[in-house]
């Protein structure tokens, strides 16, 4: 037969039709369903996932010799052709199961030519695919009435069951539907479906596959599990997109109960925040950190304006929630310990004068206090010391966006970042820095969190002009991030991290630890004698000393003559000790004192600027009896600096 060589294989086109998607949580609880090709409800299965009773009943009803022919049952085809020819119309199909699969793929109208092509395509398909592949395609694509396609969707729609769980009685009731799917629908024409089942059972009795008594028992029990068709099927009820959709489409292993509880908490808090319309939440299990276990990107998905915008991925101004990363870098560099004294005092750089949220300054404070209280001028001084090159490397290692080239305001969270990126960055603290550095940061930020008794390290953030409120809290088991704001950007006085976001983080930790012991924290292990005045490593000149926590492997900066110092020079404001990139780098010479003399590698230089080519330089500033040394490294523009 040459016909198979002249037609295409129909199976690939059929298998390309997208199936419906059923999204579940990590425990298999269905949360959302979406129809597939031509709005059909079809859930594809393998043969192993289908009840053997379904397979047996289908073969008896449709093609008892399926495993014996090569795609066409010529004896049955000749009989049907004679009947159709003598009657002048098609009254018998004689289609094998393979021919029906070919028909499902091409959707041709019934005609003599169409029947010929159907047979040719079936033969072509049999040459390229196994019998099990063809049978699987039929069971997944056969019509069962309306938009119900495939045995799995039929089992769920008619019996609220799965194809694996169907009984033989239910299988015999369903397997006859594909012959006339809309005329035999169980939900609309149950009697017609029953009569079709009875004919099939009688056929099985004639073939000695069942006894009369077994057939009668099956016929009488088949409808026992039929669901109430006055309401939609389970997958139809969850077909409406909701707040879970962002997480489900991303494939995150969220937990339905936690997700629902988190949504209620955020909605309740949002309703109490004037002029605040949205929020987001991300919770990461640190023992399986590949994906969040709670993920909410919106609080009102059905809002036609911006309800479907995923705020957990949107880049927003992060405020002080980024500060722990700068302090971690300073600890890793030996610049400070938790009790090191930092200066919180006014700063001015040309036309830029950063201040604190409440407009006041605290003077000398510990690094612990400066970080916990989100003081701005100490972290800007830290950024000066760390330098832009190191800051870029730091943020790249944390997978946080750099945005525009970092400047001093970068330390205040003015660069955009997303809640998801923040939560993942906090989880990676011990990897990017070191476990000991992460332990010290945790030690600095562990204090009572509103609305919970769980021992949590946490940091809040409030964007400039009150457009965003953040809080990230973490334990050895979880990282929890919460954001409140307006997707369109309007400000609100209620958008303060500690008041808006922190209480929800506390409630979420209550949920996470409801059925498990409270977290066990690693405490800082190393201590050292520190100067009581500066909080740096004590020297022989320090009058008062105490034992303070330090990094066990990184030497802490030594105290200078027992006087409190900041981590940036009180004399040299620019340039700072750092590595710069460029073939010609021009730097301003700025001192905190008017009468300052400058020397570059021992030779005098003069303000206002200094232009340097690649190399290493020592810059000395002298003002009266005070001297300050700055080390500058200039790398060629083509060379990337990694620290």
CATH code, 188: 1.10.3810.10
Whether 566 contacts 343, CB under 8 Å: yes
In whole angstroms, give the CA distance from residue 382 to residue 422: 20
Q: What mean pLDDT comes out for the span 544-563?
A: 85
Most confident of the ranges 58-67, 382-391, 402-411: 58-67
Is 408 among the domain residues? no
Between 148 and 87, name the one with better pLDDT. Answer: 148
Is 62 among the domain residues? yes
Give the pLDDT confidence score for residue 86 in this predicted structure: 54
Residue 420: both structure tokens together: 């998801």
> pTM for the complete prediction?
0.76
Q: What mean pLDDT comes out for the span 229-258?
A: 93
Report the sign of the C-alpha dihedral through residues 48, 53, 58, 64, in that order: positive
Give the pLDDT confidence score for residue 596 in this predicted structure: 83
Percentage, residues of the chain above pLDDT 70: 87
In which band, very low, low, confident or very high, does the pLDDT at 79 lie, cut at 50, 70 and 90? low
Q: Is the pLDDT of residue 510 over 70?
A: yes
Is 602 among the domain residues? yes
- Cα separations in angstroms, 273 against 270, 524, 628: 5, 38, 50
Most confident of the ranges 105-114, 279-288, 347-356: 279-288
Q: Which of 235, 255, 290 is the last residue of a domain?
A: 235
Q: Which of 183, 207, 235 is the last residue of a domain?
A: 235
Lowest mean pLDDT among 52-66, 95-109, 139-153, 269-283: 95-109
Report the sign of the C-alpha dihedral through residues 619, 621, 622, 628, in that order: negative
Phi/psi for 629 (5° steps) reads -115, 135
Whether 79 contacts 94, CB under 8 Å: yes
Apex 130 CA angle, 126 and 133, nearest 5: 105
Is 174 among the domain residues? yes
Domain of residue 44, residue span: 3-235
Give the pLDDT confidence score for residue 423 in this predicted structure: 97
In which band, very low, low, confident or very high, does the pLDDT at 112 lie, cut at 50, 70 and 90? low
Whichever domain contains 618, its CATH number is 2.60.40.10
Residue 569: both structure tokens together: 């020079």
Give the pLDDT confidence score for residue 80 in this predicted structure: 55
Is 400 among the domain residues? no
Question: What rounded mean pLDDT belongs to the chain?
Answer: 86
Q: Is the pLDDT of residue 225 over 60?
A: yes
Q: Which of 194, 216, 235 is the last residue of a domain?
A: 235
* pLDDT tens-digit readout, 255-278: 999 999 999 999 999 999 999 999
Give the pLDDT confidence score for residue 640 in this predicted structure: 37
Whether 571 contacts 626, CB under 8 Å: yes
Is 474 among the domain residues? no
In whole angstroms, give the CA distance from residue 431 to residue 533: 32
Counting the structural domains of the chain, the total is 2
Q: Cα Rg for the chain, rounded, in angstroms?
A: 36
Lowest mean pLDDT among 29-33, 185-189, 386-390, 444-448: 386-390
Q: Is the pLDDT of residue 565 over 90?
A: no
Between 388 and 208, name the one with better pLDDT. Answer: 208
Give the pLDDT confidence score for residue 90 in this predicted structure: 43
Is 436 among the domain residues? no
- In 550-614 the beta strands, taken as DSSP E runs, fall at 572-574, 578-581, 585-588, 590-591, 597-600, 603-605, 609-612
Lowest mean pLDDT among 111-120, 392-401, 414-423, 466-475: 111-120
Is 161 among the domain residues? yes
* pLDDT tens-digit readout, 402-459: 655 555 566 666 668 999 999 999 999 999 999 999 999 999 999 999 999 999 999 9
Give the pLDDT confidence score for residue 111 in this predicted structure: 64
Give the pLDDT confidence score for residue 82 in this predicted structure: 56
Q: Classify 529 as helix, strand or coil.
A: strand
Percentage, residues of the chain above pLDDT 90: 53
Most confident of the ranges 359-368, 458-467, 492-501, 589-598: 492-501
In whole angstroms, give the CA distance from residue 48 to residue 409: 60
Q: Is the pLDDT of residue 533 over 50?
A: yes
Residue whose token pair is 């003399």: 597
Using the 8-state DSSP alphabet, how is residue 144 labeled? -
**In sequence order, what are the residues at sequence separation of 6 or more whose Cβ sits closer than 8 angstroms to the Cβ of residue 33?**
20, 21, 22, 23, 41, 235, 236, 238, 239
Between 322 and 6, name the one with better pLDDT. Answer: 322
- Alpha carbon 318 to its chain centroid, in Å, reads 19
Q: Is the pLDDT of residue 627 over 90?
A: no
Using the 8-state DSSP alphabet, how is residue 505 labeled? H
Name which of 150, 138, 178, 159 is nearest 43 in CA terms.
150
Give the pLDDT confidence score for residue 91 in this predicted structure: 40
Give the pLDDT confidence score for residue 29 in this predicted structure: 92
Q: Is the pLDDT of residue 348 over 80?
A: no
Give the pLDDT confidence score for residue 83 in this predicted structure: 52
Residue 206: both structure tokens together: 């004639």
Q: What is the DSSP string of 376-402?
A: HHHHHHHHHHH-HHHHHHHHHHTT---
């Amino acid at each position: 037969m040459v016909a198979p060589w002249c037609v295409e294989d129909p199976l690939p086109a059929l298998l390309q039709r997208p199936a419906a998607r059923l999204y579940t949580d990590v425990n298999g609880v269905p949360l959302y369903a979406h129809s597939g090709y031509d709005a059909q409800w079809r859930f594809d299965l393998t043969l192993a996932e289908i009840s053997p009773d379904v397979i047996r009943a289908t073969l008896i009803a449709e093609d008892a010799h399926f495993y014996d022919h090569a795609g066409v049952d010529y004896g049955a085809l000749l009989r049907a052709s004679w009947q159709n020819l003598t009657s002048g119309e098609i009254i018998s199909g004689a289609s094998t199961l393979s021919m029906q699969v070919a028909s499902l793929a091409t959707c041709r109208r019934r005609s003599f030519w169409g029947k010929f092509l159907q047979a040719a395509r079936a033969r072509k398909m049999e040459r390229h695919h196994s019998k099990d592949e063809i049978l699987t395609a039929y069971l997944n694509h056969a019509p069962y009435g309306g938009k119900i396609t495939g045995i799995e969707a039929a089992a769920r729609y008619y019996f609220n069951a799965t194809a694996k769980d169907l009984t033989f009685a239910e299988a015999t009731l369903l397997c006859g539907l594909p012959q006339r799917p809309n005329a035999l629908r169980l939900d609309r024409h149950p009697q017609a479906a029953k009569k079709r089942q009875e004919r099939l059972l009688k056929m099985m009795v004639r073939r000695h596959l069942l006894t009369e008594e077994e057939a009668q028992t099956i016929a009488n029990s088949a409808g026992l599990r039929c669901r109430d068709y006055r309401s939609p099927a389970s997958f139809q009820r969850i077909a409406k997109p909701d707040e879970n959709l962002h997480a489900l489409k991303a494939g995150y292993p969220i937990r339905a109960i936690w997700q629902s509880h988190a949504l209620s908490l955020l909605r309740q808090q949002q309703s109490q925040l004037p002029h605040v319309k949205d929020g987001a939440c991300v919770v990461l299990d640190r023992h399986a950190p590949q994906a969040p276990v709670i993920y909410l990107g919106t609080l009102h998905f059905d809002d036609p304006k911006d309800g479907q915008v995923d705020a957990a991925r949107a880049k927003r101004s992060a405020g002080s929630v980024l500060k722990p990363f700068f302090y971690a870098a300073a600890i890793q560099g030996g610049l400070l310990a938790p009790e090191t004294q930092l200066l919180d005092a006014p700063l001015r750089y040309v036309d830029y004068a950063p201040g604190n949220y409440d407009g006041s300054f605290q003077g000398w404070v510990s690094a612990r206090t400066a970080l916990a209280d989100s003081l701005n001028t100490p972290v800007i001084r830290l950024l000066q010391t760390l330098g832009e090159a190191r800051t870029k490397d730091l943020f790249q290692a944390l997978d946080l966006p750099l945005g525009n080239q970092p400047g001093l305001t970068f330390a205040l969270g003015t660069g955009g970042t997303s809640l998801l990126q923040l939560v993942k960055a906090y989880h990676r603290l011990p990897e990017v820095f070191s476990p000991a550095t992460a332990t010290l940061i945790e030690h600095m930020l562990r204090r009572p969190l509103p609305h919970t008794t769980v021992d949590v390290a946490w940091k809040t953030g409030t964007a400039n002009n009150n457009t965003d409120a953040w809080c990230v809290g973490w334990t050895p088991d979880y990282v929890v991030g919460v954001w409140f704001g307006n997707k369109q950007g309007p400000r609100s006085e209620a958008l303060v991290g500690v008041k808006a976001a922190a209480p929800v983080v506390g409630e979420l930790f209550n949920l996470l630890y409801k059925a498990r012991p409270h977290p066990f924290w690693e405490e800082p292990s190393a201590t050292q004698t520190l100067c009581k005045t500066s909080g740096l490593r004590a020297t022989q000149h320090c009058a008062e000393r105490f034992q303070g926590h330090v990094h066990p492997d990184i030497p802490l900066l030594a105290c200078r003559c027992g006087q409190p110092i900041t981590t940036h020079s009180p004399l040299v404001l620019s340039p700072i000790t750092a590595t710069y990139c460029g073939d010609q780098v021009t730097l301003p010479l700025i001192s905190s004192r008017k009468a300052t003399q400058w020397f570059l590698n021992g030779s005098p230089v003069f303000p206002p600027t200094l232009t340097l080519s690649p190399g290493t330089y020592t810059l000395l500033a002298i003002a009266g009896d005070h001297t300050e040394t700055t080390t500058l490294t200039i790398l060629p523009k083509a060379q990337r600096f990694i620290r």
